[in-house]
Chains A and B, each alone.
Chain A
Amino acid sequence: MALADVCGFKLGNEHSYFGPCAEGEMGMPTLKDALRMSESFTFPCGVNLQRDINTAFTSDDSKVKIQFDHGTTTLAFKFQHGVIVAVDSRATAGPSIESQTVKKVIEINPYLLGTMAGGAADCMYWERVLASQCRVYELRNKERISVAAASKLLANIVYDYKGMGLSMGTMIVGWDKKGPALYYVDSDGERLVGHMFSVGSGSVYAYGVLDSDYRWDLTQEEAYDLGRRAIYHATHRDAYSGGVVNLYHMKETGWEKISQTDTAELHYQYKAEKEKKGKK
Chain B
Amino acid sequence: MSILSYNGAAIMAMKGKNCVAIAADRRFGIQAQTVSMDFDKVFEMGPNLFIGLPGLATDVQTVLARLKFRLNMYELRENRRIKPKTFMSMVSNLLYERRFGPYFVEPVIAGLDPKSGEPYIASMDLIGCPMETNDFVVSGTCSEQMYGMCESLWEPDLAPDDLFETISQALMNAFDRDAVSGWGAVVYIIEKDKVTKRMLKTRQD
> A239 near B: Cβ within 8 Å?
yes
Q: Could you tell me the distance in whole angstroms from the C-beta of B203 to the nearest C-beta in chain A?
A: 4
Evaluate contact between A95 and B176: CB separation under 8 angstroms. no
Q: Using Cβ atoms and an 8 Å threshold, which residues of chain A touch B202? A: 264
> A104 near B: Cβ within 8 Å?
no
> B92 near A: Cβ within 8 Å?
no
Evaluate contact between B203 and A239: CB separation under 8 angstroms. no
Evaluate contact between B178 and A264: CB separation under 8 angstroms. no
Encoded as 1 (CB less than 8 Å from any B CB) or 0, chain A from 41 to 80 comes to 0000000000000000000000000000001000000000
Given contacts A238-B33, A239-B32, A239-B34, is CB(A92)–CB(B179) below 8 Å?
yes
Partner of B180, one of A90, A239, A243, A268: A239
How far, in whole Å, are A268 and B201 apart by their CA atoms in the complex? 10
Within 8 A of B (CB), among A180-201: 201
How far, in whole Å, are A201 and B31 apart by their CA atoms in the complex? 11
Partner of B204, one of A88, A201, A264: A264
Q: Using Cβ atoms and an 8 Å threshold, which residues of chain B touch A264? A: 202-205
> A242 near B: Cβ within 8 Å?
yes
Q: Using Cβ atoms and an 8 Å threshold, which residues of chain A touch B123? A: none
Encoded as 1 (CB less than 8 Å from any A CB) or 0, chain B from 105 to 135 comes to 0000000000000000000000000000000
Evaluate contact between B178 and A95: CB separation under 8 angstroms. yes
Evaluate contact between A236 and B205: CB separation under 8 angstroms. yes
How far, in whole Å, are A242 and B183 apart by their CA atoms in the complex? 11
Q: Could you tell me the distance in whole angstroms from the C-beta of B183 to the nearest C-beta in chain A?
A: 8
Q: Using Cβ atoms and an 8 Å threshold, which residues of chain A touch B177? A: 96-97
How far, in whole Å, are A238 and B205 apart by their CA atoms in the complex? 7
Evaluate contact between B205 and A242: CB separation under 8 angstroms. yes
With both beta carbons as reference points, the residue of chain B lying nearest to A235 in the complex is identified as: B205
Evaluate contact between A238 and B34: CB separation under 8 angstroms. yes
Q: Could you tell me the distance in whole angstroms from the C-beta of B31 to the nearest C-beta in chain A?
A: 8
Query: Size of chain A's interface in residues, with CB distance under 8 A?
Result: 22
How far, in whole Å, are A240 and B8 apart by their CA atoms in the complex? 13
How far, in whole Å, are A240 and B31 apart by their CA atoms in the complex? 10
> A167 near B: Cβ within 8 Å?
no
Q: Using Cβ atoms and an 8 Å threshold, which residues of chain B touch A71? A: 32, 179
Partner of A267, one of B5, B34, B204: B204
Q: Could you tell me the distance in whole angstroms from the C-beta of B172 to the nearest C-beta in chain A?
A: 11
Partner of B8, one of A100, A237, A239, A242: A239
Q: Could you tell me the distance in whole angstroms from the C-beta of A144 to the nearest C-beta in chain B?
A: 37
Evaluate contact between B179 and A95: CB separation under 8 angstroms. yes
Given contacts A92-B179, A95-B179, A96-B177, is CB(A240)–CB(B32) below 8 Å?
yes
> A263 near B: Cβ within 8 Å?
yes
> B160 near A: Cβ within 8 Å?
no
Encoded as 1 (CB less than 8 Å from any A CB) or 0, chain B from 176 to 205 comes to 111110000000000000000000011111
Q: Using Cβ atoms and an 8 Å threshold, which residues of chain B touch A238? A: 32-34
Evaluate contact between A201 and B205: CB separation under 8 angstroms. no
Q: Could you tell me the distance in whole angstroms from the C-beta of B184 to the nearest C-beta in chain A?
A: 11
Encoded as 1 (CB less than 8 Å from any A CB) or 0, chain B from 20 to 37 comes to 000000000101111000
Q: Could you tell me the distance in whole angstroms from the C-beta of A216 to the nearest C-beta in chain B?
A: 30
Within 8 A of B (CB), among A4-59: none
How far, in whole Å, are A97 and B8 apart by their CA atoms in the complex? 13
> B168 near A: Cβ within 8 Å?
no
Encoded as 1 (CB less than 8 Å from any B CB) or 0, chain A from 247 to 280 comes to 0000000000000000110011000000000000
With both beta carbons as reference points, the residue of chain B lying nearest to A232 in the complex is identified as: B205
Evaluate contact between A97 and B204: CB separation under 8 angstroms. no
Closest CB pairs A-B (n = 6) = A242-B205, A235-B205, A239-B179, A267-B204, A264-B203, A263-B205
A residues near B (Cβ < 8 Å) are 71, 88, 90, 92, 95-97, 100, 201, 235-243, 263-264, 267-268
Not counting A237-B34, A239-B29, a sample of 15 additional A-B residue pairs whose C-beta atoms are within 8 angstroms of each other reads A95-B141, A95-B178, A95-B180, A96-B177, A96-B179, A97-B178, A201-B32, A236-B205, A237-B33, A238-B32, A238-B34, A240-B32, A241-B205, A264-B204, A268-B201
